């Protein structure tokens, strides 16, 4: 397991140096230096807490995604999910909205409550971040009551966004959102804790989201940061 983590971390460091910073360094050199410095990739934790309560079947929209988390352009498919963070004053909850095309986090919010407004505030930020070209956009989530509330679904419809909810009821229904949240908790929450207050978590999340969107290299999009991947898409589209 540790060997796999090291290989993944080595590849990302090599990509960062070569593609972003223009330094030609051999992978074996990177691995040797990481080993000498005692560095290895972060492994994901296994903490668990229920953050969503399933809504009754009759209230659920159709599953328009069917576990096919792919998109050919920005604002074609968004996924959303919630997670929790332990602080000295109790649990804090974070909501993320992610554009599937680039894995860019387009909306987020942190709160000390799992109220519906937590998810809705993250959605509002996403709508502010992406005010144009929402035609044909699908918003996908799990079966949580926060996402199936009247206020949340009404806001989606007002924005012309089609709601979609996983139909099977397991983690694969919203796998891409859970994957990004896993990175959020592994790369930030588990590494920089313990966390003291809501404000402590909120400020750190602000920094991490900016870093993730503009600097984090993601293998599924060719070892590019989400913002750069979108920039190249629009550059190619305008040149066509």
Q: Tokens 């930020």 sit at which residue?
A: 125
DSSP string covering 208-225, please? HHHHHHHT--BGGGTSB-
Q: Which residues of 43-67 are buried (b: 16+ CB within 10 A; e: fewer)?
A: eeeeeeeebbeebeeeebbeeebee
pLDDT at 172: 86
Distance CA(209)–CA(172), nearest Å, equals: 23
Task: Report pLDDT for 170.
Answer: 73
CB distance 143 to 55 below 8 Å: yes
Q: Which CATH number fits domain 57-239: 3.30.413.10, 3.10.20.90, 3.40.109.10, 3.30.420.10?
A: 3.30.420.10
Q: Mean of the pLDDT values across residues 78-91?
A: 96
- Exposure b/e, 193-220, CB count within 10 A at least 16 = b: bebeebebbeebbeebbeebbeebbbee
Lowest mean pLDDT among 54-63, 92-101, 115-124, 163-172: 54-63
Alpha-carbon gap, residue 79 to 142, rounded angstroms: 9
Residue spans of the domains in the chain: they are: 2-36, 57-239
- 35 band by pLDDT with thresholds 50, 70 and 90: low
Predicted local confidence at residue 34, as pLDDT = 60
Q: What is the pLDDT of residue 185?
A: 97
Candidate ranges 19-28, 37-46, 73-82, 163-172; pick with highest mean pLDDT: 73-82
């Amino acid at each position: 397991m540790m060997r796999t983590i090291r290989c993944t971390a080595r590849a990302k460091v090599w990509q960062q140096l070569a593609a972003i910073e223009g330094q030609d360094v051999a992978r074996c050199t990177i691995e040797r230096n990481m080993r000498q410095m005692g560095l290895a990739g972060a492994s994901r934790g296994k903490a668990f807490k229920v953050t969503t309560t399933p809504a009754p079947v009759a209230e659920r929209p159709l599953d328009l995604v069917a576990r096919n988390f792919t998109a050919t352009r920005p604002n074609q498919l968004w996924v959303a999910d919630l997670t929790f963070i332990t602080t000295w004053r109790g649990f804090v909850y974070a909501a993320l909205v992610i554009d599937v095309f680039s894995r860019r986090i387009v909306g987020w919010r942190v709160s000390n409550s799992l109220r519906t407004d937590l998810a809705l505030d993250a959605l509002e930020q996403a709508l502010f971040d992406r005010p144009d070209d929402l035609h044909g956009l699908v918003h996908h989530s799990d079966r949580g009551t926060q996402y199936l509330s009247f206020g949340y679904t009404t806001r989606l419809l007002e924005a012309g966004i089609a709601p979609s909810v996983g139909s099977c009821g397991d983690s694969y229904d919203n796998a891409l959102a859970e994957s990004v949240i896993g990175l959020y908790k592994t790369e930030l929450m588990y590494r920089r804790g313990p966390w003291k207050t809501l404000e402590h978590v909120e400020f750190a999340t602000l920094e991490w989201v900016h870093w993730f969107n503009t600097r984090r290299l993601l293998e599924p999009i060719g070892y590019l940061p989400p913002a750069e991947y979108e920039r190249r898409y629009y550059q190619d589209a305008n040149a066509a």
